[in-house]
Amino acid sequence: MNSKLWIVLLTALMVHAGDRITGLNIASRSEVIAQHGMACTSQPLATQIALDILKNGGTAVDAAIAANAALGLMEPTGNGIGGDLFAIVWDAKTQKLHGLNASGRSPKSLTLEYFLENGYESIPPYGPLPVSVPGCVDGWFELHNKFGRKPMAEILAPAIQYAREGFPVSELIAYYWRLSAQRLQKYDGFAEIFMPDGRAPEKGEIFKNPYLANTLEIIAEKGRDEFYQGEIAQKIAAYMKEQGGFLNYDDLATHNSEWVEPVSCNYRGFDVWELPPNGQGIAALQILNILENYDIQAMGFGSAEHIHAFVEAKKLAFEDRAKFYGDMEFAQVPIDKLISKEYAKSQFKRIHPQNAARKLDEPRLKDGDTIYLTVADKEGNMVSLIQSNYRGMGSGMTPGKLGFILQDRGELFSLEREHNNGYEPRKRPFHTIIPAFITKEGKPWMSFGVMGGSMQPQGHAQIVMNIVDFGMNLQEAGDAPRIRHDGSSEPTGSKMIDGGVVCLESGFDYDVISRLMKYGHRVQFSSGGFGGYQAIMRDDNNNVYFGASESRKDGQAAGY
């Protein structure tokens, strides 16, 4: 056979191998499809735990709590019971969405004057000062009391067993663990638990955390009050006092989560739901409302027009995020106006079709590792849950041989006195972690999230566009190359910026990048910081669930 024919055949085979039935070659794998239940998490072992709970008669919420507890052990680089939690739950009985804000508040005894009098320009990222009340455990019990069925002892048993017997550390988590350990090993208690043999565990090594097993057993047996008012609370308070911190027993004892009404916008016939501030979820709604004024489908995925429209809409939404978002018990946040179609039209008129906006007031809220998971059960219940310590493993504060690290979410407060997110005692800080949900004609359609700091609302909007505008399936929507716009250099407050930077994953054409640069965008390729995606979609016609998991992470979607 001559060489030219070999080349033709080889080319044909390569093209065929790269093709998918949908005509797109961006998906790493097919969607998972199952009838009775679906679990999608960032760690295959946690996914299997969730499925076991479902198979044994647990609800979607039971399975989500079990998976979250396991992830706190297996991915301490992103979450744990020292952090906060948010969730959106579709309840099949009432045919209604429920929102839970399980984020903690700042210490009552720590004041803005303390920071100003001691010369702080921002709240430190590590140590005792950024620690706020951990809301995760209370969030578990709020969810369980409303939507759970199995006893908490059974739900937490798999995580307890893995904590005692150990689990193999995955490659990605080993990498992030090593980075966090370099920063946090100086804090009392951290190295003893998280650096066996004096270092972070490597890929494939078995890690055990018997202290966390003990703590989870106490919680399973005695309930949430033991964490906030009992022995665990006392150990946290004593440790924080030793470290010069302000979080005390009273802060823990008076903590409560809050059930909130999710808010939505309609994007081309689909209702996209987020939770109201103190999180940044409505930024995704603002972006989508602006983009609805474009014919995104006609632009084509990955075109210069598509990327330009998205980035400019993001800039405008984040301008409002910088100014308005905060704890609504302390600040007036004009949600109805911000997510209205009329306001979006006025914002749309500010966008030039071929010129990048150069100066906007926008703070940079630093990225933090997070976990997102979603579970659906055979009764039609679906839960969208996100949980985080912030800044990877959190503050470094590792109290009383309890097996976990306290979060550093308080770093996100502004020290500007009149700012909506300005520091005050007993106030919830601005939060980056956001769960999402989509309904169609009043029925549950999709539960999803994209973890990763300020990437999250950008990721939410891109997932919706990928599915609604570009016709991608659930897996393709997550695997498609992403866009991330980064803004200013200030962590809090606002600062005039010079257009920011458009970060692109590989997969976008070079001629597109050239056009974006002609529009005035600064463009760079980046290999990280594009978030981690999980999703479940309900197909009522066939009575099945579709599941998808992030190809950039270690996760798994699985059903039964």
Q: What is the pLDDT of residues 176-187, one digit of tens each?
A: 999 999 999 999
111-143: per-residue pLDDT in tens? Answer: 999 999 999 999 999 999 999 999 999 999 999
Residue 501 DSSP one-character state: E
| Average pLDDT of span 528-546 | 95
Whole-number pLDDT of residue 10: 37
**In the block, residue with structure tokens 């906030």:** 228
Rounded-to-10 torsion of CA 279, 285, 291, 293:
-140
315-340: per-residue pLDDT in tens? Answer: 999 999 999 999 999 999 999 999 99
457-503: per-residue pLDDT in tens? Answer: 999 999 999 999 999 999 999 999 999 999 843 334 445 357 899 99
501-535: per-residue pLDDT in tens? Answer: 999 999 999 999 999 999 999 999 887 889 899 99
**Percentage of the chain modeled with pLDDT above 70:** 92
Q: Is 419 within a domain? A: no
Q: Is 557 within a domain? A: no
Q: How many domains does the chain have?
A: 2
- CA 438/CA 456 separation, integer angstroms: 16
345 and 469 in a single domain? The answer is yes
Q: What is the 3-state secondary structure (H, E, C) of 361-422?
A: ECCCCCCCCEEEEEEECCCCCEEEEEEECCCCCCCCCCCCCCCCCCCCHHHHCECCCCCCCE
Q: Alpha carbon of 420 to those of 124, 173, 330: distances in Å?
A: 19, 35, 8
Structural tokens at position 187? 């804090």
Q: What's the CATH code of the domain at 498?
A: 1.10.246.130
130 and 185 in a single domain? The answer is yes
Q: Alpha carbon of 7 to those of 14, 17, 136, 297: distances in Å?
A: 10, 15, 58, 36
Amino acid sitting at position 199: R
* Residues 52 and 158 sit within 8 Å (Cβ to Cβ): yes
pLDDT beyond 50 at 8: no
Distance from the Cα of residue 161 to its chain's centroid: 26
Helices (H), 325-439: 335-338, 341-348
Whole-number pLDDT of residue 367: 52
- CA 44/CA 313 separation, integer angstroms: 36
Residue 410 DSSP one-character state: G
* pTM score, whole prediction: 0.94
Q: How many CB atoms lie within 10 A of CB 257?
A: 24
- CA 412/CA 419 separation, integer angstroms: 12
Whole-number pLDDT of residue 5: 42
What domain range is 206 assigned to? 45-77+102-258+396-412
Q: Is 185 within a domain? A: yes
Both ends of the chain: CA-CA distance in Å? 49
- CA 181/CA 194 separation, integer angstroms: 8
pLDDT beyond 90 at 50: yes
pLDDT beyond 80 at 363: no
Last residue of a domain, one of 412, 441, 465: 412
Question: Lowest-pLDDT range, 13-22, 93-102, 362-371?
Answer: 13-22
464 and 359 in a single domain? The answer is yes
Phi then psi dihedrals of residue 484, to 5 deg: -135, 125
Whole-number pLDDT of residue 20: 58
Selected catalytic residue, list 370, 374, 439, 492: 370
Amino acid sitting at position 374: T
| Average pLDDT of span 55-64 | 98
73-111: per-residue pLDDT in tens? Answer: 999 999 999 999 999 999 999 999 999 999 999 999 999
487 and 445 in a single domain? The answer is yes
Last residue of a domain, one of 349, 378, 412: 412
Closest CA to 133 of 20, 240, 264: 240
Q: What angle do CA 137, 141, 146 make, to 5 degrees?
A: 150
Whole-number pLDDT of residue 488: 44
66 and 162 in a single domain? The answer is yes
458 and 516 in a single domain? The answer is yes
Question: What does the mean pLDDT of the chain come to?
Answer: 92
Residue 294 DSSP one-character state: S
48-75: string of b/e by CB count within 10 Å (b at 16+)?
bbbbebbeeebbbbbbbbbbbbbbbbbb
* Residues 459 and 530 sit within 8 Å (Cβ to Cβ): yes
pLDDT beyond 60 at 19: no
Q: How many CB atoms lie within 10 A of CB 543?
A: 10
Structural tokens at position 428? 């919830």
Q: What angle do CA 433, 156, 103 make, to 5 degrees?
A: 25
pLDDT beyond 50 at 9: no
**Percentage of the chain modeled with pLDDT above 90:** 87
- CA 386/CA 87 separation, integer angstroms: 6
- CA 20/CA 23 separation, integer angstroms: 5
Structural tokens at position 3? 């060489």
402 and 440 in a single domain? The answer is no
Q: Is 284 within a domain? A: yes
Closest CA to 500 of 315, 338, 237: 315
Does residue 370 carry a catalytic annotation?
A: yes
Residue 276 DSSP one-character state: P
- CA 486/CA 484 separation, integer angstroms: 6
The dihedral through the CA atoms of 517, 519, 521, 527 has a sign that is negative
Sheet holding 483-486, edge to edge: 483-486, 501-504, 523-525
270-324: per-residue pLDDT in tens? Answer: 999 999 999 999 999 999 999 999 999 999 999 999 999 999 999 999 999 999 9
55 and 177 in a single domain? The answer is yes
| Average pLDDT of span 59-76 | 98
Q: Is 526 within a domain? A: yes
- CA 334/CA 172 separation, integer angstroms: 40
Confidence band for 22, pLDDT divided at 50, 70 and 90: low
- List, in sequence order, every beta strand (DSSP E) within 249-311: 258-260, 263-267, 270-274
Q: Is 119 within a domain? A: yes
Distance from the Cα of residue 231 to its chain's centroid: 30
53 and 110 in a single domain? The answer is yes
Structural tokens at position 138? 């209370």
The dihedral through the CA atoms of 478, 482, 488, 494 has a sign that is negative
Amino acid sitting at position 346: S
**In the block, residue with structure tokens 């407060």:** 413
Q: Which residues pair with 273 in a beta bridge?
A: 264, 437
181 and 272 in a single domain? The answer is no
| Average pLDDT of span 37-55 | 98
Q: Is 19 within a domain? A: no
| Average pLDDT of span 41-49 | 97
127 and 247 in a single domain? The answer is yes
426-438: per-residue pLDDT in tens? Answer: 999 999 999 999 9
Closest CA to 310 of 364, 263, 278, 357: 357
With residue 283 as reference, give the H or E element that holds it: helix 281-291
166 and 294 in a single domain? The answer is no
